[in-house]
Amino acid sequence: MRLFTRTCLLVAALWWGGMSAHADYPDKPIRMIVPQAPGSATDTAARILASELSLQLNQTIVVENRPGGGFTIGLDLVAKAAPDGYTIGMGPVGSLAISPNMMAKLPYDIEKDFQPVALVTRGHMLLAVSPNLPVNSVAELIAYAKKNPDKLTNASSSNGSPGHVGGELFKLMTGTQIVHVPYKGGALAINDLMSGQVDVLFESLNSIAPHARSGKVKALGVSGARRSPGFPSIPTIAEAGVPGFDAPTWTGVIAPAGLPKPVLDKLNAATNRAIASSSFKERFGVIGDEPAGGTPEEFGDLIKRELAKWRDVVKRSGAKFD
């Protein structure tokens, strides 16, 4: 009987110790891995979120850029980190739903090695062209591309990015031939678009919005099913001449699988409060993307749906790593 009592007391102590440790979370800085370069759409979202999330958790959030490998370098660090809540990552649509369908082998399993925490933003890509290109609408771009097959260049922030596959889908649906030119980050692609080194770019609004507002690039259409609240005068690509075109963007917070539920709940609640803050809404309102939020389960369901959707798009368009 005494042995049984001691065993029960030991189990209770271990349980209480674990609960106490989780209750203290976080008691040191949190590392947020961004699988893209500084200045990219995901990096911008991460830094806005980190600023608000640090206030909600009363702890420093250190943003760490780990680009390369079609998002795999950054995501692999998250997947293999200790599931204690001190290493989290930003998971954009390109890393969680597109590039997995374009790579023969990944060092992780999207559905098994990550714990979705919360969806942070929903948004659009902007179809923009160089100011030097003599087109001013989606219809004019299609006509020009058909008259000049393989003469136009379509930049993207990287292989396997939404801009890459969005461009391939555009070519598939319009019957045009445009040469894909991948970059190491959206900022570099935007700079070359402004200077006329490349002709066409599909890029997230939160990267290219300032240049579209200033007229340094010509904005032709947004990629989602409805217009962006930040750019209500710009039509959707579907409205502008490609019926059925729909390639929205999104990004959310992920963590290693096995994250204790008390830590997951705390991270999810803090992320939702950060997203709901007036500062977060104001900063994203200028960009043109929309704050999201929700439960880990809802974010997980979105990832599964988008994996299936982009698997079909990749197969139909023939998109591949160049």
Domains of the chain: 30-122+248-317 (3.40.190.150), 125-222 (3.40.190.10)
What pLDDT does residue 262 have?
97
Backbone dihedral region for residue 160 (phi beyond 0: left; psi -120 to 50: alpha; all else: beta): left
Q: Which residues of 66-82 are buried (b: 16+ CB within 10 A; e: fewer)?
A: bbebbbbebbbbbbebe
pLDDT in tens, the chain (322 residues): 555 555 555 545 445 554 555 679 999 999 999 998 887 878 889 999 999 999 999 999 999 999 888 789 999 999 999 999 999 999 999 899 998 998 888 999 999 999 999 999 998 899 999 999 999 999 999 999 999 999 999 999 888 788 999 999 999 999 999 999 998 878 899 999 999 999 999 998 878 888 999 999 999 999 988 898 888 999 999 999 999 999 989 999 999 999 999 999 999 999 999 999 998 988 877 777 888 999 999 999 999 999 998 888 888 777 766 5
Distance (Å, whole) CA 186 – CA 204: 8
Longest pairwise C-alpha distance within the chain: 89
CA geometry: angle 246, 219, 191, nearest 5 deg = 110
pLDDT in the model for residue 109: 95
Q: How far apart are CA 292 and CA 294, in angstroms?
A: 7
Global pTM?
0.81
For 102, phi and psi rounded to 5 degrees?
A: -115, -5
Report the candidate in 221, 201, 203 with the shortest Cα–Cα distance to residue 153: 201
The pLDDT value recorded for residue 70 is 79
- Residue 322 confidence (pLDDT): 56
